[in-house]
Amino acid sequence: MSVSATATSKKLLIIVGALLLLGYLFLTRSLWFSELERQAKVGRDRLNKPIDLARADTVIWKIKGGDWKYTGEFRVGLVFDRLSDIQPAAYRKESMLLKLKVDAYAITYKPTGIGTRIEGFRAPRLIRNSYYTTDAPLSSEARIWESWGKSVELGLCGVERYPFEDTYVAVEIVQPDPVLAKANPRLEIVGQHDYAVYEHLPMLRIFRDFVLMFLVLCVIGLAYGALKQV
């Protein structure tokens, strides 16, 4: 093999090796902080439904299995816009007029016997534990989350969701609140995730991209130096 052919083979090998390393760095970018990225994705995947708080009623929100792919524990909150003509006290649980009761269930199916039809039955899905202690989330007994910012979110309940199920969230308006009815009230659901991820993930993404860019420049620099020596 001639010297020229050998040099060409070496250059080709250097270029291919550099491209493989760059491709590897690009592909592994999504693996950095993958669990934090997953939790952030869960936090962004929210559904909401308007609710009329001006009259006593029972609102049943059917969340079809195909409408929301999330499975596991999720939270149900009641969200309001913060309006300048509504006093802050009207949004506070201890002083608002609004009283609610919540429930959650799924309709599951099982055969009644060989060759017979399949019947559905109501399976409870409302979570009751040391955190979710009551089905009256705006009462003084409830000690669950609240969020205040441009909007106000009051926690209502936790619900367990299983694959291939339609989930039903039932909200009974025991005592209406005509004031909060003007604040664009809506039910909102979000999967269980670590809310601190929003604080740390942006800086971690910058750190990741800085390190990867440094490594890319190192690979390019080494490849360029090797090509000059061939």
Domain boundaries, the chain: 3-31+200-229, 52-195
pLDDT of 3 > 70? The answer is: no
Mean pLDDT of the chain: 85
| Banded model confidence at residue 42, pLDDT cuts 50, 70, 90 | low
Predicted confidence (pLDDT) per residue in 62-93, tens digit: 998 788 888 889 999 999 999 989 998 999 98
Q: How many CA atoms lie within 13 A of 228 on its CB side?
A: 6
Predicted confidence (pLDDT) per residue in 99-128, tens digit: 999 999 998 876 666 665 556 778 899 999
Domain covering 52-195, topology: Jelly Rolls (2.60.120)
Region 121-139 average pLDDT: 91
In this prediction, residue 2 carries a pLDDT of 60
Q: Give a three-class secondary structure readout of 102-121.
A: EEEEEEEEEECCCCCCEEEE
pLDDT of 34 > 90? The answer is: no
pLDDT of 46 > 60? The answer is: yes
Percent of the chain with pLDDT over 70: 89
β-strands 186-191, 47-50 pairing: antiparallel
Task: Give the residue among 10, 6, 4 at the shortest CA–CA distance from 228.
Answer: 10
Q: What pTM does this model have? A: 0.72
pLDDT of 216 > 70? The answer is: yes
| Banded model confidence at residue 208, pLDDT cuts 50, 70, 90 | confident
In this prediction, residue 71 carries a pLDDT of 87
Residues 73 and 60: their CA atoms lie apart, in Å, by 19
